[in-house]
Amino acid sequence: MMLGLLLARAGVEVLVLEKHADFLRDFRGDTIHPSTLEILHELGLLEDFLKLPHQEVHQLVVQVGEVAVPIADFSHLPTRCKFIAFLPQWDFLNFLAERGASYPSFGLRMRAEVVGLFEEAGRVTGVEVATPEGRLDVRAKLVVAADGRHSVVRGKANLPIETLGAPMDVLWFRISRRPDDPAVGLGRFQVGRLFVILNRGDYWQCGFIIAKGTFDAIQRAGLPAFRDSVAALVPFAADRVADIRSWDDVKLLTVLVDRLTTWYRAGLLCIGDAAHAMSPVGGVGINLAIQDAVAAANLLAEPLGRGSVTDDDLRCVQRRRAPATRVVQRFQVLFQNRVVAPILNSRARTLTVPSALRLFVRFPWLRRIPARIVGIGLRPEHVKTAPRR
Query: Quick check: helix, strand or coil at residue 210?
Result: strand
One domain, residues 8 and 150: yes
> CA distances (Å), 204 to each of 23, 173, 187, 249, 286, in order?
20, 9, 12, 13, 20
Closest CA relative to residue 238, chosen from 221, 258, 224: 224
pLDDT tier at 31 (50, 70, 90 boundaries)?
confident
Do 194 and 331 reside in the same domain of the chain?
no
Residue 356 lies in a domain: no
| Distance separating alpha carbons of residues 156 and 274, to the nearest angstrom | 12
Q: How far is CA 13 from CA 104, 276, 317, 354, in A?
A: 8, 26, 20, 52
pLDDT tens digits, one per residue of 217-256: 999 999 999 999 999 888 888 999 999 999 999 999 888 8
pLDDT per position as a tens digit, 142-167? 999 999 988 999 999 999 999 998 88
* Residue ending a domain, choose from 202, 235, 253: 253
The reply to whether 142 and 123 lie within a common domain is yes
The residues with which 131 forms a beta bridge, in sequence order, are: 134
Statement to judge: residues 13 and 102 lie in one domain: yes
Domain boundary among 238, 253, 268: 253
pLDDT tier at 374 (50, 70, 90 boundaries)?
A: confident
Rounded to whole angstroms, how far apart are CA atoms 9 and 3?
Answer: 10
Per-residue model confidence as pLDDT tens digits over 172-221: 999 999 989 887 766 776 666 788 888 878 888 888 999 898 999 999 99
Percentage of the residues of the chain whose pLDDT score is greater than 70: 96
On whether residue 200 sits in a domain, the answer given is yes
Q: How far is CA 382 from CA 63, 297, 377, 385, in A?
A: 35, 10, 12, 9
Contact between 340 and 194 (Cβ < 8 Å): yes
Distance between start and end Cα atoms, the chain: 21
Domain span at residue 200 reads: 168-253
Instruction: Write the CA distances from 174 to 29, 211, 248, integer angstroms.
Output: 14, 20, 12
Listed range (315-319, 343-347, 378-382) with the worst mean pLDDT: 343-347
Residue 183 lies in a domain: yes
Average pLDDT of span 70-96 = 92
Q: Is residue 71 part of a domain?
A: no
Structural domain includes residue 262: yes
In 121-277, the DSSP E strands lie at 123-131, 134-139, 143-145, 161-163, 168-176, 187-190, 193-199, 203-211, 251-253, 258-260, 264-265, 268-270
Question: Are 132 and 19 found together in one domain?
Answer: yes
In this structure, how many other beta carbons lie within 10 angstroms of the beta carbon of residue 201? 11
Q: Are residues 175 and 131 in the same domain?
A: no
Of 305 and 68, the structure prediction assigns the larger pLDDT to 305
User: Is 45 in the same domain as 184?
Assistant: no
User: Are 178 and 296 within one domain?
Assistant: no
Residue 359: pLDDT band (50, 70, 90) is confident
**292 shares a domain with 313:** yes
Distance from C-alpha of 230 to C-alpha of 125, rounded to nearest angstrom: 50
Instruction: Please report whether residue 188 resides in a domain.
Output: yes
Statement to judge: residues 202 and 53 lie in one domain: no
- Shared domain check, 29 and 96: yes
Q: Is 90 left (phi over 0), alpha (psi -120 to 50) or beta?
A: alpha
Task: Kindly report the average pLDDT of the chain as a whole number.
Answer: 90
3-state SS string over 40-65? Answer: HHHCCCHHHHCCCCCEEECEEEEEEC
Please report whether residue 51 resides in a domain.
yes
**CATH number where 278 lies:** 3.50.50.60
- Looking at the structure, tell me whether residues 35 and 176 fall in a common domain: no
Strand-pair category, 59-64 with 187-190: parallel
CB 323 within 8 A of CB 69: no
Query: Residue 7: which H helix or E strand, with range?
Result: helix 2-9
How far is it, in rounded angstroms, from Cα 159 to Cα 238? 47
Residues 366, 235: Cα–Cα separation, whole Å: 31
Structure confidence at residue 196 (pLDDT): 85
Q: Which helix (H) or strand (E) holds 225?
A: helix 223-233
What's the confidence (pLDDT) of residue 351?
A: 67
H/E element, 16: strand 14-17
- Total of domains in the chain: 2
Q: What is the DSSP string of 109-123?
A: ESS-EEEEEEEETTE
Q: Does 282 fall in a domain?
A: yes
CA 257 to centroid of chain Cα atoms? 12
**Domain stops at, among 189, 224, 253:** 253
Q: List, in order, residues 6 or more apart from 41 with CB less than 8 Å away.
A: 80, 81
Read off the pTM.
0.90
